[in-house]
Structure 1
Amino acid sequence: MPAGLRVKQLAVVPNLKMPAFDKKIKETTITMRKLQYCLVLIGLSFCLKTSAQNGFSGKLQVDYVPFSNYVRPVDSLKTGSTSNFKRIQASFSIPLSTKMHELGRPVIWALGLDGSYAQMTNRNYTEKIFPEEMLNAQIGLMHSRPIGKTWSIMAMASVGIYTDMEKISSDDVLAQGGVLFIKHFNPRLAFGFGPVLTNAFGTPMVLPGLYFDWVTQGKYKLHINFPQGMEFGVKMSDVISLNAVVELSGMTAEVNRENKSMILGYQQIIAGLRPEFKISKSLTFQLTAGTTLVRSFSLTDRKISAIFKQKDHADPRFTTAAYGSAALKWNFSKK
């Protein structure tokens, strides 16, 4: 169950055999486990974004989910308790060294800075279930270079603080790194794989890392990026485009429950429309309006086996709600 999300039953639920309900719980739990694994990979994605950049780039975004009802995990009952979600995110890619390889592609050393701060207002709960604040802040180093005509290698390492702001300690410091071998099929299609090392589960563990990026060009654009999401859009003019998007995002916090260090994960999948306005050659402004397809928390032991362990009930989640965000992106890469 999500970080520190120990829920007291509000009513006695008979121990009845309900195969359909049990199957639904199992399917939901497996889905949440996959989302958690994807979020580990997303933790490295801010380094991946620098792979095609040779200049200062970044993004500042605010997003908001209004109050929606808490769904009790023990019986999937929608309750009268409600929570919202407000977040501000910032990411920066700062090139330290860029030079052209003899194969015609750049060799890059870059520094990545990434931070997210979220607040939740929780109403009508009989006890504290969800955090009121979460902070994720990390710094990372990335190196990318070609190792063949169509292959490149990318190595990255990052360290950061992931906390619910109640008590910050050394347990809140999480580190991760990895090496990806990336195949460039053409300038618009790339696939990468390699080992990813993380201490999110206590003892440092190696997980398989995957990266996929495909984008088309022209008036109509399709962009698929694993594990972050996909978008399909149309260029309406030189400065305006309209995109339909589906995106996965989340946050992580180390929490202490019953004198034990655990990982609290927040997962969110949204779908919506995103008009994009090109302010200048280097600046872009985005607005997104849509809905949350998934919004949930999960509480996990800091053991690798916890990712695959079957739970007796689903993770705490919320009903579908509206979603909105605004973002400013900049890219001062040399053309």
Structure 2
Amino acid sequence: MRFTIFIILLITGLLVSAQGFISYDYFSSSRMRETPGSRLGSGGMYLVSGSYNIPLVVKMHDESRSTSWAINISAVFAEMSNKGESATLNPGSIINSGLSIIHLRPLSEKWDILASLGGGVFAPADEISAKSILGSGGVIFIYRMNDNLSLGAGGGITNSYGPPMAVPMLYLSWQKKGKFSCRIDMTTGIKISASTRLWKQFHLEFTPMEVDGLTAVMKVDGKNKIYSMAMLQSYLSPEYKFTDKFTLFARIGGNWIRGVSISNRSLKGFFDSFNDDDKEDPYFQAALRLSTGIKFKF
């Protein structure tokens, strides 16, 4: 099974207000396989994650467009309970943390530019070193097709595979507002969702598909490798808004597949991850995923 590591950008709506979230996610235990008939043990996982966005400069041009600078701070701690062979293939815990600066600026009536630069620690909790620090940056040119659809493309640079390398970057944001709102988002990963506000304080969202993941620089047989985990999930998420600054949310759904890939931290390792068609990456089967958390603004 093939998975791609996405370089992520913040959605532009976050650049104009100080806001963040803290959440706890639980994954029930499921079997790990390499092919449909194989067995590589089993494993579950929990995640504690948080993010906070700090606007530095905001100049509004109209209701939806602005020139802005912002800082984002994020952190994820994952603890895995692996059994059998899966315990040797996966680290016991992972830390993903980052600090990024983001700039958004209109170029014309239809075009915007979105740029980001940042870095952070991506490693098993017991293997943090200077080699665990990964940096990335990118520039995307965004074209506003209409009030609902924005498309963009650009390029970025990352040292995830050792030497700095350039990678293409894509941006897609589509939303349809009304009593029932729909959204397709490729700005912080991949997410397709539909939502409605049942009453003033209560909001309900259904997400049939969301893709996210974790990355770590880890040692395998004395060599630095890139460990990546990609997760495909669906869930129902109720939210209750206590005040304009505090919202409680929950999620219940399934994590349909949790794929694992380990590759050499080199340019050759990057290209081998795409060219080795005979390689089967291990994966965890479907599992229950439960989440709870808070959203806040200051």
Instruction: State the TM-score, normalizing by the size of structure 2.
Output: 0.91
| Aligned counterpart, 2:294 | 328
Check if 1:247 corresponds to 2:213. no
Between the aligned partners of 1:292 and 1:249, the Cα distance in structure 2 is: 11
Q: Deviations over 1:178-235 (max 9, x none)?
A: 0011112334322121001111111111111001111211110101101321111232
CA contact (8 A) 1:296 1:317 kept: yes
Runs of 4+ with deviation above 6 angstroms = none
Check if 1:198 corresponds to 2:164. no
Between the aligned partners of 2:294 and 2:255, the Cα distance in structure 1 is: 21
| Aligned counterpart, 2:198 | 236
Question: CA 1:125/1:112 → structure 2, altered by over 3 Å: closer, same or farther?
Answer: same
| Aligned counterpart, 1:12 | none
| Aligned counterpart, 1:146 | 106
Mapping of residues 111-130 of structure 1, within 5 Å: 111-125=71-85, 128-130=88-90
Between the aligned partners of 2:86 and 2:96, the Cα distance in structure 1 is: 28
| Structure of higher RCO (CA pairs closer than 8 Å, 6+ residues apart) | 1
Between the aligned partners of 2:138 and 2:86, the Cα distance in structure 1 is: 43
User: Whose strand fraction is larger, Structure 1's or Structure 2's?
Assistant: 2
Question: CA 1:63/1:222 → structure 2, altered by over 3 Å: closer, same or farther?
Answer: same
Check if 1:155 corresponds to 2:121. no
| Aligned counterpart, 1:9 | none
Amino acid at match of 1:135: I
SS at match of 1:312: coil
Amino acid at match of 2:162: G
> More displaced, 293-302 or 137-146?
293-302
Question: CA 1:233/1:119 → structure 2, altered by over 3 Å: closer, same or farther?
Answer: same
Question: CA 1:102/1:60 → structure 2, altered by over 3 Å: closer, same or farther?
Answer: closer
SS at match of 2:16: coil
How far the C-alpha of 1:126 sits from its partner, in A, is: 8.6
CA contact (8 A) 1:103 1:149 kept: no
Between the aligned partners of 1:234 and 1:86, the Cα distance in structure 2 is: 28
Figure out how many residues of one structure are paired with residues of the other and give that number.
Answer: 292
CA contact (8 A) 2:27 2:45 kept: yes
Between the aligned partners of 1:283 and 1:127, the Cα distance in structure 2 is: 39
Between the aligned partners of 1:127 and 1:120, the Cα distance in structure 2 is: 9
Q: Deviations over 1:134-174 (max 9, x none)?
A: 00011011111111011111111011010012322221110
Question: CA 1:59/1:52 → structure 2, altered by over 3 Å: closer, same or farther?
Answer: closer
Question: CA 1:211/1:80 → structure 2, altered by over 3 Å: closer, same or farther?
Answer: closer
Task: Name structure 1 gaps, 5 residues minimum.
Answer: 1-27
CA contact (8 A) 1:155 1:179 kept: yes
> More displaced, 191-200 or 97-106?
97-106
Between the aligned partners of 1:238 and 1:127, the Cα distance in structure 2 is: 47
Larger Rg: 1
CA contact (8 A) 1:103 1:148 kept: no
Instruction: State the TM-score, normalizing by the size of structure 1.
Output: 0.81
Amino acid at match of 1:291: G
Q: 2:253 aligns with which of 272, 290, 296?
A: 290
User: Whose helix fraction is larger, Structure 1's or Structure 2's?
Assistant: 1
Between the aligned partners of 1:100 and 1:80, the Cα distance in structure 2 is: 54
Identity of aligned residues (%): 26
| Aligned counterpart, 1:49 | 11
Task: Name structure 2 gaps, 5 residues minimum.
Answer: none
Between the aligned partners of 1:331 and 1:50, the Cα distance in structure 2 is: 16
SS at match of 1:308: helix
Structure 1 vs Structure 2 CA RMSD: 2.1
Q: Deviations over 1:3-38 (max 9, x none)?
A: xxxxxxxxxxxxxxxxxxxxxxxxx2xxx23xx23x
CA contact (8 A) 2:229 2:258 kept: yes
Check if 1:314 corresponds to 2:280. yes
